[in-house]
Amino acid sequence: MKILTKNLIFFSIAFMAGAVVFRHGLSYAIGNRLHGLLWAIAGTYFLYNLLTGWFFGKRDYESLPLFDLGFRFHFAAYLIFNLVSWGWFKFGLESQFEHIGIVYTTALFWGISLVIHFIFFLALRKESIKGIHKEDIFE
Amino acid sequence: MNDRQLYSELLSAWEETYKKGQLTLWIFLSLKDGKKYVEEIKAFVEEFSNNTMTCESQSLYRTLRKFQHLGVVDFETGEGNKGPERKYYYLTALGMQLLNSFTGRNISLFFSEKIRTLINQEASK
């Protein structure tokens, strides 16, 4: 199955840019105790991810209808977000109120949902040939 | 609904169902005929299906990309007509084997003496 597609790469770049901006905004808002801004950043970041995922995911499916239930995009998002968060702490860019433990906790709980997603992906893979759903092959 | 309308609607409904899955056969047949770029495939399908099958170029590109991913179709680039290079698609050995098996099992049936006679009888009524 083809894993790395052009649209997944573009999504990863956009997602990484979003994650860096989000981390910056998060540390700024927490460091300055700006709770209103914190919610605004979180909401904007959520919408940004939703739109980029929808946009590149749709284009990816139109280009080649790989039947993976969005797992490749989910996995890329997981890796990028957690690497950016971990790097943020390693480079000492966090605010004085943040602790690296939250990065590991996030990775753990998100990782559990990723594993569940992967199980569903594996279960449904039987219905596809080389990653394309059998019903989508012949038109 | 009068008989004429009923006949027309039933025929449309049957054809709509019948055509599902046929584009693949037409694309494969056009490539068995020789290497072609997308516009040539489109022209072949429309001409030899008496325009009962139509397809948009974008839809064909998408379908061919999918077949290429599956290894039944591949392409080589060749010179365009005073324009950019074109992708000339062809059936791979797997694609050819697939088409031959499919037609052998599903299409050749219509060439048996009995079925041909029945179809011709119907047409002559």
Mean pLDDT of chain A: 93
How much is the ipTM here? 0.75
Count contacts between A and B (CB, < 8 Å): 26
| pLDDT tens profile B91-118 | 999 999 999 999 999 988 888 888 888 8
Q: What HEC string does chain B produce?
A: CCHHHHHHHHHHHHHHHHHCCHHHHHHHHHHHCCCECHHHHHHHHHHHCCCCCCCCHHHHHHHHHHHHHHCCEEEEEECCCCCCCEEEEEECHHHHHHHHHHHHHHHHHHHCHHHHHHHHHHHHC
Which of chain B's residues have a Cβ under 8 Å away from the Cβ of A136? 66
The residue that leads in pLDDT, B82 or A55, is A55
Residue A103 in tokens: 């990065």
Of the candidates B21, B62, B71, the beta carbon closest to that of A62 is on: B62
Q: Which residues of B touch A62 (CB under 8 A)?
A: 62
Nearest CA in chain A to B28: A138
Q: What is the pLDDT of residues B3-40, one digit of tens each?
A: 899 999 999 998 888 888 889 999 999 999 999 999 99
- Cβ–Cβ of B69/A130 closer than 8 Å? yes
Predicted TM-score (pTM) of this structure? 0.77
Count CA atoms within 13 Å of residue A33 on its CB side.
Answer: 0
pLDDT tens column, A28-53: 999 999 989 999 999 999 999 999 99
